[in-house]
């Protein structure tokens, strides 16, 4: 076992292990009322009215008629209503809340509330686009002169979050403020959502973060919906209210990973050189756009993955369907398009009758190459050493030969991938505008605040360490607590792999400034604004320029065996290498590596979620299986140092990167094991059987 | 109905519905919140407690089933020296991320090592298979169990 020389004890370790960490559901508030969702039973219908039973004293029904200012949840697109009004767009959309002191009574009453509907034609497939984007690089008119064209289509399925703590929110009134404690990722998103729906000023709302039991993107936007609903209720009822989902409600009605369909064509000249590629990515956004346009952007920008093609035509659509909206989930669109490209380039090699790895290496991206959005990969790219190291760790070259024999029922696959860190383009400087406050008291005790939530990634430990090491003072002289919007300035959401690269960099800068002006025995305070690297130029409308401030890179190797009787795949080994700039804390980083890959493998072959007539068939953990300790083999990970100029201590982002390569590595291994090409995931036994019984 | 049992070495008698879930008794009546609810259906193990030293899902256990028995939750285990060894091993390997699964994982580890002080990797994976973790990919937890086992706690 590895020794972690670079790691420090995680600040929240002891409280979590001892069961002392207070999650939202652990907060004692005996007089709180319960809020139960009354949900639409229709996928698409006019809501002509709502029949509410006579309610006993202290029981309330809250719905669109109670909206104070705006019936909209403040998510990137302002199209998701707090409560359905006159129309429902998916099964499970909230038409109202029953609120009262006894939970069972509330549940009982909620069943008696009846929506009066007039059916409309629902749409469940990807045909109605509500966001379209496209861009090109080079000269795509050359495609028509191609001597050969090769095209394929790939699909990926839904994925459920299964953070282990379901959604939970507690709201109460205190000191003329609405106070929210919730399982969340972005305190200021919730804060804004409440201010917007109620039309109140910022000082009227306070959001405090308790311990959070996992998030992965699923608590980025959904809690804003819950908060807007509860806020509407609390101004009327003036009692503390809890909204806690059980696992079934969480699986059935909260946001999921976007299913996708990606079509790729490659155009070759007479000598089989690739003239260029054309890619279309379609994602199923569900009933409301929410953040789907940004997910689509990321999917498109990442679509050429780690390859440079001279000419590129990329387009994509997010489609409106009458299903639960899809939203943020680790990777944010790029796992879908990268899955497609990784398989496609291997299949293309087969079509051109050249060695798979040789073709990939021929088009491998290099430092200073032009990106698909006509920006530049400025920072040194060390993909080749990453690939070599991963091959060596996994004994790839020997195994790939060995398993190519007919009937091997075993295969090995290698994926390479990148992840852009931070918000797209100039989003960090123009939209987020993070500000970090750091202060010191007379005794030299330093306190700093960020709005970053630690839902397991260890950022409370890492960010603190950045400040401690920069100031060069003892650890117990630095105080860094969980976000509380009364104290904290917004350093932006805990999303987009931006925490370490952006907020970490900001924390280091703030600490350097404090150090420079440090005067013993004095109170001092600094507010440090984020200033992005000036070379980043991005035009969102045309999708041209530098899409991200920096990129992290990785290679995954997965080995798979297949049982020819049950058609079940088993993951036999996983080896990974990463370039995350510089790993500030190796143990925390390896935790991200293992956890991200485990989730990705779940998505690749175990986790199947399908909707039938707009209703999800999988409603509980009994029928939606995530990996258990028995499903995964030991995992080995190596990190290669490649310090990033603009990150704190050279660090880039890592949280999402580790999700991106698992599925394509798995699928490539599976292909070798069964000697059939894979185009769709999850690769369930049914799918594997279908492939094996089918002549290619 | 009056039901007596021992929780973390303290005898308690409660007047409760005998079908009430042990999990609710622990969290809502006794206010011991280290035991978590991740699914309520016996699938995740976040609600694990030890009954007579055996891990059980408290969300599936009616309180009547533990009448006159010994129940241990993380609040009890954390007072022991065995806990210290296991917790240090979890800290050393990074076995806890969001922490929601962690109390359950630690209880299962304790029960395993008590029975089998030097489990193989496979035995560890099998013992933990009823406890889901969405954050770690299990590797760090399994390594933590190995470290605790190597420390040779005479459990
Ligand atoms: S809460 Fe008991 S097993 Fe999940
Ligand atoms: S640490 Fe989050 S579920 Fe295990």
- Over residues A288-319, the pLDDT tens digits come to 999 999 999 999 999 999 999 999 999 999 99
Three-point CA angle A593, B82, B136, nearest 5°: 10
Print the SS3 string covering A361-390: HHCECCCCCECCCCCECCCCCCHHHHHHHH
pLDDT score of A6 more than 80: no
Residue of A nearest to B78 (CA): A18
Bridge-partner residues for A36, per DSSP? A98
Residue B66 and residue B100 in one domain = no
- Of B73, B98, B113, the position where a domain reaches its end is B73
Tell me if A619 sits within 8 A of A251, measured CB to CB. Answer: yes
DSSP state of A471: H
Q: Where are the domains of chain A?
A: 29-122+162-253, 260-424+544-692, 426-514+522-529
> Residue A648 pLDDT more than 60?
yes
Mean pLDDT (chain A) is: 96
SS (H, E, C) B99-133: CCCHHHHHHHHHHHHHHCCCCCHHHHHHHCCCCCC
A390: pLDDT confidence band, cut at 50, 70 and 90?
very high
From residue A48, give the alpha-carbon distance in Å to each of A44, A85, A110, A256, B16. 12, 9, 18, 29, 45
Whether chain B has a CB inside 8 Å of the CB on A107: the answer is no
Domain boundary among B43, B73, B103: B73
3-state SS, residue A446: strand
pLDDT recorded at residue B154: 59
Q: For chain B, how many structural domains are there in total?
A: 2
Do residues B93 and B64 both lie within one domain? no
**Residues B85 and B67 placed together within one structural domain of the fold:** no
- Give the model's pLDDT for residue A535: 79
In this structure, chain B runs to a length of 155
Nearest alpha-carbon partner for A579 in A457, A466, A419 = A419
Q: How far apart are CA A665 and CA A120, in angstroms?
A: 42
Per DSSP, A503 falls in state I
Among A4, A17, A26, most B C-beta atoms within 10 A, so best to mutate, is: A17
Whether residue A584 contacts residue A6, with contact meaning beta carbons closer than 8 Å, is answered with yes
Q: Do domains A29-122+162-253 and A426-514+522-529 have the same CATH topology?
A: yes
Co-location of B65 and B100 in the same domain: no
- What CATH number is attached to the domain comprising B119? 1.10.150.120
Regarding whether B121 and B88 lie in a shared domain, the answer is yes
Over residues A386-395, the mean pLDDT reads: 98
A628: closest CA of chain B, how far (Å): 6
Dihedral angle at the C-alpha atoms of A79, A84, A88, A90, nearest 10 degrees?
A: 70
- Which CATH number is A260-424+544-692's, of 3.60.130.10, 1.10.10.10, 3.50.50.60, 3.30.365.10? 3.30.365.10
Residue A47: both structure tokens together? 């809501």
What's the pLDDT at A662?
98
Mutate to test the pocket of ligand 2, among A12, A164, A457, A602 (most ligand atoms within 8 A of CB): A164
> Quick one: CA dihedral A193, A195, A196, A198, positive or negative?
positive
Summarize the confidence of residues A573-591 as an average pLDDT.
94
Residues B37 and B62 in one domain: yes
- Hey, how many other C-beta atoms are within 10 angstroms of the C-beta on A137? 21
Surface of B (82-101) touching A: CB under 8 A: 83, 87, 90-94, 96-101
Same domain, B55 and B96: no
Tell me how far apart the alpha carbons of residues A309 and A24 are, in angstroms, rounded to a whole number. Answer: 49
Strands A205-208 and A177-182: parallel
pLDDT digits (tens, 9 = 90+) for A607-634: 999 999 999 999 999 999 999 999 999 9
Q: Are residues B46 and B91 in the same domain?
A: no
Q: Report the CATH number at residue B59.
A: 3.10.20.30
| Same domain flag for B93 and B121 | yes
Instruction: Name the percent of chain B lying above pLDDT 90.
Output: 97
User: If residue A496 lies in a helix (H) or strand (E), which one and from where to where?
Assistant: none
A462 touches chain B (CB under 8 A): no
State the Cα–Cα distance between residues A649 and A511, nearest whole angstrom: 13
| Residue A85: closest CA among A110, A113, A59, A66 | A66
Residue with tokens 């519905």: B17
The reported pLDDT for the residue numbered A673 is 98
Residue of chain B nearest A622, judged by CA positions? B43
What is the rounded average pLDDT of the residues A39-51? 98
- Decide the pairing of beta strands A168-174 and A148-156: unpaired
Domain A426-514+522-529 has CATH 3.30.365.10: yes
Residue A149, pLDDT score: 98
| A93-113 confidence digits (pLDDT tens) | 999 999 999 999 999 999 999
Please give the mean pLDDT across all residues of chain B: 96
Q: What is the pLDDT of residues A195-215, one digit of tens each?
A: 999 999 999 999 999 999 999
Q: Is the pLDDT of residue B21 over 60?
A: yes
Can you tell me the distance from the alpha carbon of A630 to that of A645, in angstroms, rounded to the nearest whole number? 41
Ligand 1 centre distance from Cα of residue B58 (Å): 7
Ligand 1 within 6 A of B61 CB?
no
Q: Which residue has the tokens 């040789």?
A: A358
Tokens in use for B85? 């060894």
CB burial of residue B24 (10 Å; 0-12, 13-18, 19+): middle
Residue whose entry in the numeric block shows the structure tokens 């959070």: A212
**pLDDT the model gives residue A696:** 57
- B75: number of Cβ within 10 Å: 20
The CATH number assigned to the domain with range A29-122+162-253 reads 3.30.365.10
Q: pLDDT value at position B89?
A: 96
A667 conformational bin, left if phi > 0, alpha if psi -120 to 50, beta if neither: alpha
- The separation between the first and the last C-alpha atoms of chain B, rounded to the nearest angstrom, is 36
Question: Nearest-CA neighbor of A11 among A466, A338, A432?
Answer: A466
B139, B92: one domain: yes
A146-190 pLDDT, tens digit each: 999 999 999 999 999 999 999 999 999 999 999 999 999 999 999
> Model confidence at A80, in pLDDT bands (50, 70, 90)?
very high
Q: What is the ipTM of this complex?
A: 0.98
Interchain CB distance below 8 Å, B134 and A594 = no
Are residues B55 and B14 part of one domain?
yes
Ligand 2 mean position, distance from CA B46 (Å): 9
Tell me: pLDDT of A5 over 80.
no
Task: Reply yes or no on whether the pLDDT at B155 is more than 60.
Answer: no
Question: Domain range for residue B88?
Answer: 80-150
Residue A623, H or E segment: none
Question: Which residues make Cβ contacts (< 8 Å) with residue A534, sequence separation at least 6?
Answer: none
> For residue A179, what is the enclosing H or E element?
strand A177-182
Mean pLDDT of A59-74: 98
Element housing A372 (H / E): none
Q: Which bin fits A570, alpha (ψ -120 to 50), beta or left (φ > 0)?
A: beta
Do B88 and B38 have their domain in common?
A: no
Name the 3-class secondary structure at A115.
strand
Show the tokens assigned to A450: 């960020």
- Which of A13, A215, A628 shows the shortest C-beta gap to B132? A628
* Res. A533: pLDDT tops 90: no
pTM here?
0.96
Please say whether the beta carbons of A680 and A154 come within 8 A. yes
Angle between helices A459-471 and A505-517 (to 10 degrees): 30
- Give the whole-angstrom CA distance, residue B92 versus residue B81: 17
Give whole-number Cα distances, A75 to A79, A82, A92, A372, in Å: 8, 11, 19, 28
For strands A311-320 and A274-286, give the pairing.
Answer: parallel
Count the residues in chain A: 696
Domain boundary pick from B33, B54, B73: B73
How many whole angstroms from A370 Cα to the centroid of ligand 1? 50
Q: Which two tokens stand for residue A159?
A: 């994925």
């Amino acid at each position: 076992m590895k020794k972690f020389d670079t790691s420090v004890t995680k600040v929240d370790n002891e409280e979590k292990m001892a069961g002392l960490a207070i999650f939202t559901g652990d907060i004692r508030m005996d007089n709180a009322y319960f809020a139960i969702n009354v949900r639409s039973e229709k996928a698409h219908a006019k809501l002509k009215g709502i029949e509410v039973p006579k309610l006993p004293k202290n029981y309330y029904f809250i719905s669109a008629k109670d909206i104070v200012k705006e019936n909209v949840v403040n998510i990137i697109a302002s199209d998701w209503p707090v409560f359905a009004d006159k129309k429902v767009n998916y099964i499970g959309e909230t038409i109202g809340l029953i609120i009262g002191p006894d939970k069972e009574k509330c549940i009982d009453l909620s069943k008696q509330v009846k929506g009066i509907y007039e059916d409309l034609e629902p749409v469940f497939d990807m045909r109605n686009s509500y966001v379209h984007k496209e861009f090109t690089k080079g000269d795509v008119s050359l495609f028509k002169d191609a001597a050969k064209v090769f095209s394929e289509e790939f699909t990926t399925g839904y994925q459920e979050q299964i953070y282990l703590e379901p959604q939970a929110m507690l709201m109460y009134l205190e000191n003329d403020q609405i106070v929210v404690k919730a399982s969340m990722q972005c305190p200021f998103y919730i804060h804004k959502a409440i201010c917007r729906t109620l039309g109140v000023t910022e000082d009227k709302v306070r959001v405090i973060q308790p311990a959070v039991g996992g998030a992965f993107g699923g608590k980025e936007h959904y809690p804003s919906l819950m908060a807007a609903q509860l806020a509407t209720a609390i101004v009327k009822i003036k009692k503390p209210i809890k909204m806690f989902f059980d696992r079934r409600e969480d699986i059935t009605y909260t946001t999921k990973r976007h299913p996708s369909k990606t079509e790729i064509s490659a155009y070759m000249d007479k000598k089989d050189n690739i003239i260029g590629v054309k890619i279309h990515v379609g994602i199923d956004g569900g009933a409301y756009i929410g953040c789907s346009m940004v997910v689509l952007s990321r999917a498109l920008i990442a679509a050429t993955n780690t390859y440079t093609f001279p000419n590129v035509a990329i387009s994509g659509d997010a489609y409106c369907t009458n299903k639960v909206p899809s939203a943020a989930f680790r990777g944010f669109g790029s796992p879908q398009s990268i899955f497609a490209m990784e398989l496609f380039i291997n299949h293309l090699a087969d079509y051109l009758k050249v060695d798979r790895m040789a073709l990939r290496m021929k088009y491998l991206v290099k430092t200073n190459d032009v990106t698909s959005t006509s920006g530049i990969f400025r920072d040194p790219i060390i993909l080749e050493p990453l690939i070599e190291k991963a091959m060596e760790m996994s004994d790839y070259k020997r195994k790939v030969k060995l398993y190519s024999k007919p009937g091997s029922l075993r295969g090995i696959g290698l994926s390479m991938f990148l992840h852009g860190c931070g918000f797209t383009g100039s989003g960090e400087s123009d939209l987020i505008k993070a500000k970090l406050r750091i202060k010191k008291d007379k005794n030299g005790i330093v306190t700093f605040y960020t709005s970053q939530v630690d839902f397991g990634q260890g950022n409370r430990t890492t960010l603190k360490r950045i400040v401690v090491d920069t100031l060069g003072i003892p650890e117990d002289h630095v105080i860094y607590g969980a976000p509380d919007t009364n104290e904290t300035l917004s350093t932006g959401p805990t999303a987009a792999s931006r925490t370490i690269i952006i907020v970490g960099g900001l924390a280091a800068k703030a600490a350097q400034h404090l150090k420079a002006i440090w005067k013993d025995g004095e109170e001092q305070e600094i507010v440090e604004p984020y200033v992005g690297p000036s070379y980043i130029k991005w035009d969102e409308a045309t999708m041209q320029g530098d899409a991200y401030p920096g990129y992290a890179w990785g290679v995954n190797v997965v080995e798979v065996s297949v049982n020819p009787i049950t058609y079940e795949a088993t993951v036999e080994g996983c080896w990974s290498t990463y370039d995350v700039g510089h790993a500030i804390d190796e143990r925390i980083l390896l935790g991200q590596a293992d956890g991200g890959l485990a989730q990705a493998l779940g998505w690749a072959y175990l986790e199947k979620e399908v909707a039938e007539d707009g209703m999800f068939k999988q409603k509980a953990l009994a029928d939606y299986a995530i990996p258990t300790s028995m499903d995964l083999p030991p995992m080995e990970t190596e990190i290669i140092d490649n310090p990033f100029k603009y990150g704190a201590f050279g660090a880039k982002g890592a949280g999402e990167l580790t999700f991106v390569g698992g599925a394509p590595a798995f699928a490539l291994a599976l292909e070798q094991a069964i000697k059939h090409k894979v185009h769709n995931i999850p690769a369930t036994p049914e799918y594997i059987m279908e492939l094996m019984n089918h002549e290619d | 109905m009056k039901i007596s049992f021992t929780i973390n070495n303290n005898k308690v008698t409660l007047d409760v519905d005998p079908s009430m879930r042990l999990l609710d008794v622990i969290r809502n009546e006794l206010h011991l919140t280290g035991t978590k609810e991740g699914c309520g259906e016996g699938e995740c193990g976040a609600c694990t407690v030890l009954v007579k030293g055996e891990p059980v899902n408290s969300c599936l256990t009616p309180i009547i089933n533990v009448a006159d028995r010994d129940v241990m939750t993380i609040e009890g285990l954390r007072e022991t020296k065995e806990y210290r060894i296991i917790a240090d091993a979890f800290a050393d390997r990074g076995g806890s991320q969001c922490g929601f699964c962690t109390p359950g994982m630690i209880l299962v580890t304790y029960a395993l090592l008590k029975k089998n002080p030097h489990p193989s990797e496979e035995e560890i994976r099998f013992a933990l298979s009823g406890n889901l973790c969405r954050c770690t990919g299990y590797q760090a937890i399994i390594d933590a169990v190995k470290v605790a086992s190597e420390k040779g706690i005479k459990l």
